[in-house]
């Protein structure tokens, strides 16, 4: 899906940058062509500044989104998910980051979360980056407790795991 969306903007790397930002942040486009997060409007100048493009590029991108029925359906229904990862140090939570060899392999989330559950640890949040949206997708798991060495070794030994990080 991501490749199809990006192909629609293949003649404009700047508009592709706008699309990538909208998807990464979960920003929607309303009927008036304004970028929003829920009901809060995000100024096009702020978006342009973030990705170093002219504000008119953002305008042209939102116009193109509204003119295309498929893109309109996608970008009027996308939403952001709040993440506990940045709050983890403040809330005394643990963040496990898992990098894998092939993110399209089935059962990655189930295997990792199963290991954690088998050790009696509660999972507060799981975020899995989409392999279509990012070059090196990661699996993030936020837990209430620290992960002991035995569990870390168990996860590290899973055949698809390339690297793990703890915060």
Q: Which pLDDT tens digit goes with each residue over 8-24?
A: 999 999 999 999 999 98
Indicate if the pLDDT at residue 134 is higher than 80. no
C-beta atoms surrounding 25 within 10 Å: 14
Tokens of 136: 């090196």
Query: pTM (2 decimals)?
Result: 0.77
Tokens of 158: 């899973």
Indicate if the pLDDT at residue 98 is higher than 90. yes
Average pLDDT in the chain: 94
Q: Residue 24: in which H helix or E strand, if any?
A: helix 13-25
Average pLDDT value for residue range 47-64: 97
Could you tell me the pLDDT band of residue 59, with boundaries at 50, 70 and 90? very high
Could you tell me the pLDDT band of residue 2, with boundaries at 50, 70 and 90? confident
What CA–CA distances, in Å, run from 147 to 15, 81, 85, 91, 111? 42, 25, 16, 16, 16
CA 94 to CA 88: how far, in whole Å?
Answer: 6
CA 14 to CA 17: how far, in whole Å?
Answer: 5
Question: Between 39 and 154, where is the model more confident?
Answer: 154
Tokens of 103: 């993110």
CA 19 to CA 1: how far, in whole Å?
Answer: 13
Which of 77-91, 115-129, 148-162 bottoms out in mean pLDDT, i.e. has the lowest?
Answer: 77-91
CA 31 to CA 29: how far, in whole Å?
Answer: 7
Domain with CATH 3.30.70.260 in the chain: 88-166
**According to the model, what pLDDT value does residue 84 have?**
93
Indicate if the pLDDT at residue 1 is higher than 80. no
| CATH level 3 topology of 88-166 | Alpha-Beta Plaits (3.30.70)
* b/e sequence 102-137, b meaning 16+ C-beta within 10 Å: ebeeeebeebbeebbeeeebeebbebeeeeeeeeeb
Could you tell me the pLDDT band of residue 162, with boundaries at 50, 70 and 90? very high
Contact between 8 and 68 under an 8 Å Cβ cutoff? The reply is: yes
**According to the model, what pLDDT value does residue 132 have?**
76
What CA–CA distances, in Å, run from 132 to 22, 30, 112, 138? 14, 24, 21, 12
Which of 29-33, 78-82, 162-166 bottoms out in mean pLDDT, i.e. has the lowest?
Answer: 78-82
Average pLDDT value for residue range 85-114: 94
CB-side exposure of 124: number of CA atoms within 13 Å?
Answer: 17
């Amino acid at each position: 899906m991501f490749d199809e969306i990006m192909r629609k903007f293949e003649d404009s790397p700047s508009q592709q940058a706008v699309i990538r930002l909208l998807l990464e942040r979960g920003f929607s486009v309303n009927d008036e062509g304004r970028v929003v997060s829920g009901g809060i409007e995000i100024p096009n100048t702020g978006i342009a500044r973030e990705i170093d493009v002219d504000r008119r590029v953002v305008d042209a991108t939102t116009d193109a989104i509204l003119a295309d029925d498929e893109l309109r359906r996608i970008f009027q229904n996308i939403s952001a998910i709040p993440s506990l990862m940045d709050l983890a140090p403040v809330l005394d939570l643990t963040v496990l980051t898992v990098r894998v060899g092939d993110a399209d392999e089935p059962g990655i989330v189930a295997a990792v979360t199963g290991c954690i559950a088998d050790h009696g640890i509660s999972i507060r949040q799981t975020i899995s980056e989409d392999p279509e949206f990012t070059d090196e997708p990661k699996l993030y798991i936020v837990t209430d407790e620290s992960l002991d060495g035995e569990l870390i070794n168990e996860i590290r030994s899973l055949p698809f795991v390339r690297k793990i990080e703890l915060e």
